[in-house]
Amino acid sequence: MRNIIALVLTFGAASPALAAGGPFFSLHNTNFIVLLAFLLFIGVLVYLKVPGKLGGMLDSRAEGIKSELDEARALREEAQTILASYERKQKEVQEQADRIVSTAREEAAQAAEKAKEDLQLSIVRRLAAAEDQISSAQASAVKEVRDQAILIAIAASREVIGKQMTATDGNKLIESAIAEVDAKLH
């Protein structure tokens, strides 16, 4: 506790307020000395034109900031025009893509319709070809049956004629056939 009281008395006795005793315009007064030093410092700063240099530096900095802001505005406007251009191009490309898709759909529908028509024509042609083949096969079968019937009739008539005809009847038939041919040729 004693240490705390001693510490308070030491700081209290050495306070700056107690050091400024006596008249103000005296070299023994610390407040006056500090004021003179401050005024001398300000005078040196003014003599060396520090405020003008600081003002010039601040002005140049302000101009630099202003030019950067102007450049940033110009870049922003340029970016906006480029963005608008790309948006227009994107819209145009989208419209073109939509047109291409619709055209492709129409062409696909037309191609499907054409393929359907071609298929129907092909079916009709194949049916006609099948009917022709059927009629041809039918005609061929009828011809074969007739030919076979003729062969059987000839064989049967040969057998019948061979059994019933005599040599004199055969000679008469031959002579009559020769006369008939002779009459037709002359």
Return d(Cα 21, Cα 58) in angstroms, integer. Answer: 43
- What would the pLDDT profile of 119-177 be if each residue is shown by its tens digit? 999 999 999 998 999 989 898 888 888 888 888 888 887 777 777 777 787 788 788 88
Is residue 164 assigned to a domain?
A: no
Is residue 5 assigned to a domain?
A: no
Neighbours of 45 (CB within 10 A): 13
Average pLDDT over residues 86-99: 95
Based on the fold, state whether residues 119 and 66 are members of the same structural domain. yes
Return d(Cα 29, Cα 8) in angstroms, integer. Answer: 24
Among the residue ranges 74-78, 90-94, 134-138, the one predicted with the least confidence is: 134-138
86: containing domain? 53-128
Return d(Cα 166, Cα 156) in angstroms, integer. Answer: 17
Is residue 178 assigned to a domain?
A: no
Write down the pLDDT at residue 13: 41
State the average pLDDT for the chain. 85
User: Cα 24 from chain centroid?
Assistant: 89
Based on the fold, state whether residues 34 and 87 are members of the same structural domain. no
Return d(Cα 120, Cα 114) in angstroms, integer. Answer: 10
- Are the CB atoms for 47 and 58 separated by under 8 Å? no
Nearest to 116 by CA among 130, 124, 103: 124
Based on the fold, state whether residues 107 and 63 are members of the same structural domain. yes
